Structure 1
């Protein structure tokens, strides 16, 4: 996402993340905070001790420019937040084990993910028809590449996901269930920020909701 969609996404998703966290002050690590810093500024403003881990994390205190698999917290943390980062990892089970190892007993895992397996052609066409003119975001690129490919949407999407090594959301949830107790799991809007819309616009559209919001607890 570019800067403006990223801001809309973080602003819309923060209330869910905030409500799932232990009371402040809690020690929280965000996996995949990205170059914007993700939720770390909001976590700090809410009174939490926060670290952001991402190879493209900003420079500065509280940020760590590395993969989470290489990050070693100085002490167990109260919560781990992973926002649209787990579908990119090389090995889901290794990542989930690392998350479990970073958490104190009873700690919280907050996951925001994308169910690409629910991204059907109807949903794709709805998104592509609403793309802002002149943009160059990921949805713009897929709209152009799909047209050029001549493939059925499902074949195009599966080929892209396989080439990128993207995990399905149902497999992410299954990996979480093997290590944690899932307390809540819900579908949610996902594309609204890139389209310049509100979450409610996407909810009312009658398309597949491909966002996933999950809260789990360590044993």
Structure 2
């Protein structure tokens, strides 16, 4: 486990409720995330942890309460500004990688930079650099169907971090991997995030994953424990 790079708060939730129709998914959640910090939310399937993550990422709107990024409440931002946040300031790692099959590994990795308007050559150069740091630079010309699950998840991590986002949201980032690959990929992911000062909020059902975080919260039946504990 490493130390958080900064104590400056980058993301917070205050009294957040989220519902699907009349069914509550998150109830009165309070959470903070500091720059460069790794925070885990653990809980069983259906506990609301993924719903909370996507609410904090601006994908799902809170019914009440406030989510703030760098001091600005999401309620103060229009749809275009929220989309720009997700595209330029946030990164995402999903359980199954979610790489685009038609693109090469290098093109998949460069995608956040290209969407932010960077020209192709420097975007691919940046992608090659982060792929090299994760030990998969030799795969850059392959398609996602031509790499293993562990390799695919390293590429997903590279894509999430290539544009040096303020926060990466990771939903069961090692859930599709065997234990050996899970341990290695998680360590590489968190080491690279810490090295560039990126905060990580990850949800997981695996206590071994949560143990790698600086702090962790537990969640059950939509209720988040009121204070994150040191791992």
| Same structural fold, with TM-score higher than 0.5 when normalized by the shorter chain | no
Q: Normalising by structure 1, report the TM-score.
A: 0.34
Structure with bigger strand share is 2
Structure with bigger helix share is 1
Higher relative contact order at CA 8 Å, sep ≥6: structure 1 or structure 2?
2
